[in-house]
Amino acid sequence: MAQKGKIFVVGFGPGDFNHITTRAVEALQQSEFIIGYKTYVELIQDLVSAKSIVSTGMTEEVSRAQEAVRQAEAGNIVSVISSGDSGVYGMAGLVYEVLIELGWTEATGVEVEIVPGISAINSCASLLGAPIMHDSCTISLSDHLTPWNLIAKRVEAAAMADFVIALYNPKSGRRTRQIVEAQRILLEYRSPDTPVGLVKSAYRERQEITMTTLAEMLEHDIGMLTTVIIGNSSTFFYDNKMITPRGYQRKYTLGEEKQPLRPHQRLREENEPWAMNQETGTASHDFAADPNAGRMKSNIAITPVSTPTKSSLEMAATALAMVQGTTATKATPKLVQQKMESIFELAVSPGVANKFFTPQQMMALAEVVGDEGTMEYTPDHQIHLKIPTTEPEAITEKLREVGFLLSPIGDVLSLKACDFCYGEKADSIPYAEELQATLGGLSLPKTLNIGFNGCGMACYRAVFDDIGIVYRKSKFDVFIGAKPVGRTAHAAQPVVEGLEPEQLIPLITAIIEEYKANAHPNERLFKYFKRVKKILHFSYQDMSSKIKVEPAPCGD
Ligand code: SF4
């Protein structure tokens, strides 16, 4: 009778030999065939003496599993390899599925052994400190096999339930929006200051570790090899470590040798008021609603929890309103806020048309920026502030008191108006102010500047902004898609001449809405226009076609 074959499904951990299990090495060394994705095969090549190595491309998992089954049924010992754990987004499930299709049973079929490995959530957590000390989950953002709507629901459920979350497959060359959307969902439930760890290529040659926050995580490099670990509402940073307290501080005084509760007292109900009462099935203390419960560090203040009633749009409107000093429609945040010191960034200017700073404004700036913050004057007649603080509201209030116009910084819409000849050519100023009030600070795929000039001189160079608006003979000329910098810089394309003033805001709003809905993340307006060839009914013309520039290694 022919010898029965065997399939090992091996998780070899993060990829360095110190973190592979002894059983995994044994399996690899016993195997006559090693089957895996070629990058993984290269990682373990030095460990194996297999007679045959079958490496295939990334999307060929099914053919790898089928080949493994074929070889095992022919009497061979085969290892199918996965990085991390073979049972966590690895090959174990697929091998079983292929076997089941063929009518395999444990009693009659080839032998199968799943060899566990260290999954990315564990390896990455160890490099960050101790972020998954409490309930946690893994969510893959890859929607190649799972519908995006289901992934989004899982992200929302995990966010709502305060899990520490490890996001696998956060981004790839073509999948760039999923991580943006996941961040948006998470921000509905978690503080922007929630600690986030980004680990790329854990325990491999090009390992990179980044500690950031939920609000800022997209400013860092996130790719196919990155695992994103989002802290829960108790997670904190300490000395470059990301730590989630387990809850010992609820019953123990961690700095004391002598504990207030004796060992036999610790399991009593009065000392665990958060636990479920075995008769009523409820907890005597609503711990989840207690903002001060579970905090380890006394210097972390917490804003009380409120009922989750707002949509993400309302949340965004509230955040924007805070910077703009206007009133959002509904204002109660639904997340568990964790106030940690963070860098508050914003731009200030004396007004849309006004370019003069008053002494009071300069003094207020000095006061709010203090010794630790920075001020940077920009070519757009704004001052960018970076201020370490736990109280951004107090700063915005102080700055508004002295008449500053406040704007967020980053991938937002900024209006850059001329000074209207020191206010002499004032006819179009109300339109500029209305534009600022309607669209200023709007979050977009990439920074977008609208240049607004009060006469045909256009001396503030509106036609070199993403959208240029020039007031001329009581009407407006509109330009779209300048490339403001680089060796192939060019002016924007004229798209409307003589627009009636009342049509200006609807037209610009429609352009912005189309761009916001359809542009790729980080795609500037000129690139978007060039790609889609049409914005509203305006057709693209190549404004740079007359320029011939040799490519340069540092970019154009
Ligand atoms: S664009 Fe016209 S209105 Fe504005 S500052 Fe220049 S000259 Fe004056």
Pocket-testing residue among 352, 420, 431, ligand 1, by greatest number of atoms within 8 A of Cβ: 420
Helix (H) or strand (E) holding 400: helix 392-401
Q: Report whether 364 contacts 402 (CB < 8 A).
A: yes
Place 254 in a pLDDT band, splitting at 50, 70 and 90: low
- CA dihedral over 250, 255, 257, 258, signed as positive or negative: negative
Query: What pLDDT score was predicted for residue 323?
Result: 55
**pLDDT surpassing 90 at residue 340:** no
**pLDDT confidence tier of residue 525, bands split at 50, 70 and 90:** very high
Residue of 422, 429, 431, 455 with the most ligand 1 atoms within 8 Å of its CB, for mutation: 455
For residue 214, what are its two tokens?
A: 């939920």
DSSP strands (E only) in 184-244: 195-200, 208-213, 226-230, 236-238, 241-243
Q: How far apart are CA 291 and CA 287, in angstroms?
A: 8
In the chain, the percentage of residues whose pLDDT exceeds 90 is: 58
Query: For the ranges 146-150, 336-340, 437-441, which has the lowest average pLDDT?
Result: 336-340
Residue 148's identity, in one-letter code, is W
Confidence of residue 475 (pLDDT cuts 50, 70, 90): very high
Q: 483 CA distance to ligand 1 centroid (A)?
A: 22
- So what's the pLDDT on residue 205? 86
Give per-residue pLDDT as tens, 47-80. 777 667 776 665 678 888 888 999 999 999 999 9
pLDDT tens by residue, 282-315: 665 554 544 444 333 333 333 333 334 444 445 5
Residues with CB under 6 A from ligand 1: 418-421, 425, 453-455, 457-460
Q: Is the pLDDT of residue 348 over 90?
A: yes
**Residues 6+ positions from 166 with CB-CB distance below 8 Å:** 120, 121, 124, 125, 132, 136, 137, 138, 139, 227, 228, 229, 230
Closest-CA residue to 307 (of 288, 321, 325): 288
Calculate how far, in angstroms, residue 292's C-alpha sits from the geometric centre of ligand 1. Answer: 56
Atom of ligand 1 nearest to the CA of 455: 2
Q: What is the pLDDT of residue 299?
A: 32
User: How far separated are the first and last CA of the chain, in Å rounded?
Assistant: 70
Ligand 1 center from residue 459 Cα (angstroms): 6
What is the identity of the amino acid at 53?
I
| pLDDT, position 4 | 80
Q: Which two tokens stand for residue 161?
A: 């339930």
Cβ 338 vs Cβ 194: under 8 Å: yes
With vertex at residue 420, the alpha carbon angle to CA 419 and CA 423, rounded to the nearest 5 degrees, is 95
| Res 337 pLDDT > 50 | no
Give Rg (Cα) of the chain. Answer: 29
437, pLDDT greater than 60:
yes
- Rounded to 10 degrees, the C-alpha dihedral 148/149/153/154 comes to -30
Q: Supply the mean pLDDT for the chain.
A: 83
Q: Provide the 10 A C-beta neighbour count for residue 293.
A: 17
Give the dihedral sign, CA 227/135/261/274.
Answer: positive
- Which residue's C-alpha comes closest to atom 8 of ligand 1? 421
189: burial class by Cβ within 10 Å (0-12, 13-18, 19+)? buried
Ligand 1 centroid distance, CA of 453 (Å): 6
State the Cα–Cα distance between residues 543 and 74, nearest whole angstrom. 65
Tens-digit pLDDT profile for residues 200-232: 999 988 899 999 999 999 999 999 899 999 999
Closest residue CA from atom 6 of ligand 1? 459
Residue 468 CA to residue 471 CA, distance in Å, equals 10
Pick from 325, 544, 552, 540: which is nearest to 437 by CA?
Answer: 325
**pLDDT for the residue numbered 319:** 53
Looking at the CA of residue 456, tell me the nearest atom of ligand 1: 2
Whether pLDDT at 316 is above 70: no
* DSSP structure string for 34-99: EEEEHHHHHHHGGG---SEEEEE-TT-HHHHHHHHHHHHHTT-EEEEEESB-TTSSSSHHHHHHHH
Distance 544 CA to ligand 1 centre (A): 26
Mean pLDDT of 351-369: 93
